[in-house]
Every structure is written in structure tokens, then in C-alpha cells.
Amino acid sequence: MPKRTTPNKPPRPLRAAGLMSGTSADGVSVAFVDVRGRRVRLLGHLDVPYTPAFRRRVFELFDPATSRVDAICRMNFQLGEIFAGALNAAAKHCRVPLASLDVIGSHGQTIYHCPPARGRAGSTLQIGEPAVIAERTGVTTVADFRPADVAAGGQGAPLVPLADWLLFAHRARHRVVQNIGGIANLTWLPARAGLADVLAFDTGPGNMILDRLASLITRGRLAYDRDGLLAAQGRVCPKLLAHLLRHPFLRQRPPKSTGRETFGLPFTDALLARSKAMGISPLDTLATATAFTAASIARAYRFLPSWPAEVILCGGGARNPTLVSHLGRELSPARVVLMDTLGIPAEAKESVSFALLAVRTLLGQSGNVPSATGARHHVVLGKIVAGAGLPSNRQSLG
């Protein structure tokens, strides 16, 4: 009699958590996903804010005048504790047992990003000690994703295009995934895109300037322009807007990345000084900065092979109706949609992305997209800290 065979069972999904704190430094976004091949299922997500006092301490690290090596060293471990605490809180909120996780992907908190330029090697620094996260959770943790790409000659950013391609590439439509965090970045996904067809780069400021202006206008009462209500009370100053749109970063061809070093406090303080000299009110300055953010995003689309049919918005700026209204006009005739309508909450996409990147690192697969970052070749991203979890956590990868 012929020997009976049993069909091979597909491998179970790998379960991952992603941790993200962006350039706005307003807290930790946590997402849980199951990953099997290109199939991704979101299990839950939670945003855990920093306290105002702790956020101020993080911002002190961004300024070379106030940043000290001992403060960076201490904050590295304190952020590790906060990331671990946020993960524990999110696990309880989403009813995802830590023992069910195979890996955690932690982006960390960027405190300095200096992309390569002519005659200058690149460098980047993210803190939030992964050894602390692994120790407190018992789960293997992957962190520090950017340096491997920078070492290979890349910008180290953006790192989410691979996840964008896995989640949102469409057979028939040219799409752009437009993230508006502290810094804004886009991922170009042409119809039927292979990974080599993907383009991605930072477009310029996102919420960074707007957050600072909103805080100053409200004397610290608001950390951001909630629902764009403050900007909606002001009027756009065409002369100031024209000045802002002459910024050299907007003319720079991709691959390119930027950060707080370019559009942070010195930029915003200079903007305020110019607007005051021009007799422009704070609300009108905020309205103009909001229009600038939208216009700077739209101007980046001239570097794409063609205009997209659909733009998918994510990040905190996707919740600013005034900004989104400007974008709708600037990006016409593209259809602008919120990522929530496609099954991933706009605030969760970045943390979902780093969960996916952690899975790829655990499997020994590359995570960067050289056509986006400018790296010489594909690299496996991140550094792995083994967790001390139960054997039931572990899955054979061989």
C-alpha cells in the first residue's frame, strides 16, 4: 500500500510588538501584529504619552547647547524603562500576553540624525536601551535599526517603505503613503510595484513647527494644534509662505532625509522673529506654517515618476483637518484618504512598521530599501538583544 502523507502545516504566524517614538517626542506608540509571509494582522495598539516634565527632558537632549553625555547615558536607560512600561500597559489594554510575543521591535527615540552629505559620512543616534526592554519583558528585542543602513552609505531614513509596500501596494493604482509625524515622509508605490520600484524620502517638516508654535501661542497649555483649530483662526501670509518655500531642502533631490536639526527650534525661532518683524500675528504665523507644511509635502511629488491616483495619510498630522484641507487642494486630483479606512489606524502605522522590521531581522532578512535610502545594498537592520522568555515563546526559525 502506498504510504499516506500528511500535508505540511503552514508555519504559525510570528507575533511581534512595535514601539515607536517619533520626532515629536510626545510618547510611545505600541502595536501588536501577527505576521505570516506578506500577511499582516493587527491585534491592537495603544499610544502612551510622555508626561510634560519628561518630554521637556527629552527635548533638552535635542539641543547641543543643553545636551550632556551623562544626561544622554541616563536617559538611554530611563527611556528603556518607559518603553518597557508602555509595552506592558499596551499588552494589558489589548489583551495580548507578553508570553505570546516572539519579538519586539523598538525604534527608540532619535536625538540626533546627520545623514551623509558630500565629503561627510552619515551618523545617527537613537536611545531607549533595548537590554532594559528585553529584561523587563522577557522577550527578544530588536532595536537601533538605522545605523546598518547608514554604514552601507544610506540616509538611514525612511525605514518604513518595506512595510508600506507589504501593506499597501495595489495592483491597479499608483499610491503614495504620506506620513505626517514631526517630519513628513512619503513612500511611492506604483501599480504592480516590486520592491525595487519603491521610492521613499523625507519631504520636510510635518508637525514639528506647528507643535512649537501652538505651544508658544497657548503658553504651554497645548502641545499641538488640536484639530487645527488655532491655524483655522489665522490667515495665510503669501509673502512669508513664499519665503519658507525657498528652503533649500525642498529643492534637494532624493534620496534625502531630515530632522530636528533642520526644522527644529532654531528654524521655528527664526520664523517667529521674521513674522514679528513683518507685523504678522502669531495665529497668522501658525496658519502660514500649516500651509507651508502642506505645500512642502506637495512639492516633493514633483520628484515622483507620475502623480498618484491615491494618497494614504498617516501620522498625527492626519488628524489635523486644517492641514488635511490644504493637502487636499495641493495634491488634487489625487484622492486623499485616511489610513484608517484601509484597516490600519493612522497613529499605529509606524509602530506596525517596526514590528514587521523586527520580524525580518529575526529571520535574517533585509529591511532597508536602497532605492529609498541610497544605501549601496540591502542590509539586515537592527541589533538583537535576547530575551529570557519562556520556551513557549520561541519558534524555530530553521
Structural domain count, the chain: 2
What was the pLDDT predicted at 56? 87
214, 242: one domain: yes
Distance CA 221, CA 127 (A): 28
Is residue 203 one of the residues assigned to a domain? yes
Is residue 24 one of the residues assigned to a domain? yes
98, 173: one domain: no
Distance CA 35, CA 375 (A): 26
**CATH code of 111's domain:** 3.30.420.40
333, 365: one domain: no
Burial of 251 (0-12, 13-18, 19+ CB in 10 A): exposed
What was the pLDDT predicted at 157? 86
- Model pTM? 0.85
Length of the chain, please? 398
188, 52: one domain: no
Distance CA 39, CA 238 (A): 46
- Listed as ranges, residues in the chain with pLDDT below 50 are 2, 5-6, 390-398
| 243-244-248 Cα angle (round to 5) | 100
What was the pLDDT predicted at 363? 95
What was the pLDDT predicted at 303? 97
179, 143: one domain: no
Is residue 329 one of the residues assigned to a domain? yes
Domain boundary among 325, 342, 359: 342
359, 261: one domain: no
Is residue 9 one of the residues assigned to a domain? no
What was the pLDDT predicted at 2? 47
238, 105: one domain: no
Maximal CA-CA distance, the chain: 93
131, 173: one domain: no
What was the pLDDT predicted at 163? 93
Is residue 150 one of the residues assigned to a domain? yes
369-394 in b/e form (b: 16+ CB < 10 A) is bbbbbbbeebbbbbebbebebeeebe
81, 117: one domain: yes
Q: Range of 75's domain? A: 15-156+350-393
What was the pLDDT predicted at 8? 54
pLDDT tens profile 202-249: 999 999 999 999 999 999 899 899 999 999 999 999 999 999 999 999
Is residue 2 one of the residues assigned to a domain? no
Beta carbons of 127 and 108 less than 8 angstroms apart: yes
pLDDT tens profile 332-370: 999 999 999 999 999 899 999 999 999 999 999 999 999
Domain boundary among 308, 326, 342: 342
Beta carbons of 177 and 195 less than 8 angstroms apart: no
* Residues contacting residue 62 through CB under 8 Å, at least 6 positions apart: 25, 111, 112, 260, 264, 265
Closest to 349 in 3D by CA, of 181, 139, 198, 225: 181
Distance CA 261, CA 255 (A): 18
What was the pLDDT predicted at 397? 41
Burial of 336 (0-12, 13-18, 19+ CB in 10 A): buried
> In whole numbers, what is the pLDDT of the chain averaged over residues?
91
Give the number of other CB atoms < 10 A from CB of residue 12. Answer: 10
43, 124: one domain: yes
224, 203: one domain: yes
Is residue 6 one of the residues assigned to a domain? no
Is residue 109 one of the residues assigned to a domain? yes
266, 282: one domain: yes
C-alpha cell belonging to residue 276: 514679528
What was the pLDDT predicted at 389? 61
